[in-house]
Amino acid sequence: MESKNFKYPDTKAYNFVVAELKKRNVDLHALSKIAYHLQKQFLPQLNEQECYEELNSVLHKRELLNNVMVGLELDRLAEENKLKEPLLSIIRNDAGVFGVDESLALQIADIYGTIGVTNFGYLDRVKYGIIKQFDEDPNHVNTFIDDLLGAIVAATCAKVAHKYA
């Protein structure tokens, strides 16, 4: 039942997400560089610092924070074997037909419209840089984090594209 007096904890959610990403060795500058490389061919006036600032702005959106928190927690709970079967095995094996990882990511990518969705789809296949590292790491459960990072980059691309449209 929805509690009417609960106030959404914007700052705590942002701090949690940034701290967890840091713990998992995600460099936000590496992410904003991917956005820069994806968009510079369309936007010659774009620079890396601006992409970093837009990424930081994107990271304050509640819809992003909610989906990232859920995905990071599901990776952690699967890593610690705290989910019930068969969901545990499905997530630990990053089953291709699971789809909830891409679903959470698509909610993020879509915050700034369809440009984010198509960029996410591209990143989901080519898996640049840090996104690739997570996708290929055999030692940890990274089922959600690679998609979430792709979505954060994709949303940044869309925000930048709309700014200059």
Q: Which residues of the shown chain bind a copy of itself in the complex (CB under 8 A)?
A: 1-3, 6-9, 12-13, 16, 42, 62-63, 66-67, 69-70, 73-74, 76-77, 82-87, 89-90, 93-100, 102-104, 106-107, 110, 113-115, 117-126, 135-138, 142, 161-162, 165
19 DSSP assignment: H
Which is closer to a copy of itself, CB of 56 or CB of 66? 66
Which is closer to a copy of itself, CB of 28 or CB of 88? 88
Q: Within 10 A of 135 (CB to CB), how many other CB atoms are there? A: 17
CB of 117 to a copy of itself, least distance (A): 6
CB of 19 to a copy of itself, least distance (A): 10
CB distance 152 to 59 below 8 Å: yes
C-alpha span between 156 and 89 (Å, rounded)? 32
CA-based max dimension of the chain:
51
CB of 160 to a copy of itself, least distance (A): 12
Which is closer to a copy of itself, CB of 55 or CB of 154? 154
Query: Measuring CA to CA, which residue among 163, 158, 153 is closest to residue 116?
Result: 158
CB of 92 to a copy of itself, least distance (A): 8
Q: How many helices and strands, by DSSP H and E, does the chain display?
A: 9, 0
